[in-house]
Amino acid sequence: MWQSTDGVHVQLALEDLNAVKLLVALAVSEETTYLSAQAEVVAGAAAISSMAARPVRKYVPDVLAPSVVSFDFGSFADDRAPPVLRIVFSEPVAQSTFVSGKFVLQSAVSSDAAERLALADASVEVAPTDASTIQLQFSEPTLEAYKVLADLCRTADRCFLTVQPGAANDFAGNSIRYTAPFGPQRFFQGLSLAFSPQNGGAGLLDPLLYSTTTTTTASTSTT
């Protein structure tokens, strides 16, 4: 919070801003944006009375597209379970807008030299503790296709994610742009044995005990 000649300015914390975005009918236009205040809203100020709801003076719509911040890959609950792609976005995204087939795993940065797998028909869930995190659970056909790709996401350095334009929208309707291939923030090494073609998917290691971390950052195109 800071004060200038034209009033008091309040910078919303990211958690508060995301909470507003999740309320799909709040602050989406001038007509839906009002401010009210309780008494003594400014600590130490002399006798500030409560303020009834007042309309916004200037409204600037949200036109910023969401971006991918990071992703994790592995079987987080059970090494015998199908793998999960856990994607962290810069803001909450609308689950109903997801096109899972536009999220593509590949075994190298260059798609020409890589094994590639689009996550078509994956089930989409919002993480229970963070509305900016989405989990994509492999469908049975996608899991079978993954098992026969011997090089794809068997190790952290063979696991990259590409996101195609239009893969998801935020709650203001802004669509995600192309995201160039990048590696996982967390990768559970046990999956390389749990889902290798040689053992037919039998779980042999607890993936929580065999994790590695990479520091690759997502890069989003603005075109």
How large is the average pLDDT for residues 86-91? Answer: 92
- Residue 45, pLDDT > 60, answer no
* pLDDT band of 201, cuts 50, 70, 90: very low
DSSP 138: P
More confident residue, 94 or 41: 94
Residues of 126-158 as b/e, b for ≥16 C-beta within 10 angstroms? beeeebbbbbbbbbeebeebbeebeebbbebeb
Task: Note the pTM of the prediction, 2 decimals.
Answer: 0.73
Q: Residue 211 and residue 147: Cα distance in Å, rounded?
A: 20
Candidates 72, 162, 87; CA nearest to 126 is 87
Strand partners, 160: 106
Residues 158-189 have pLDDT tens digits of 999 999 999 999 999 999 999 899 999 888 75
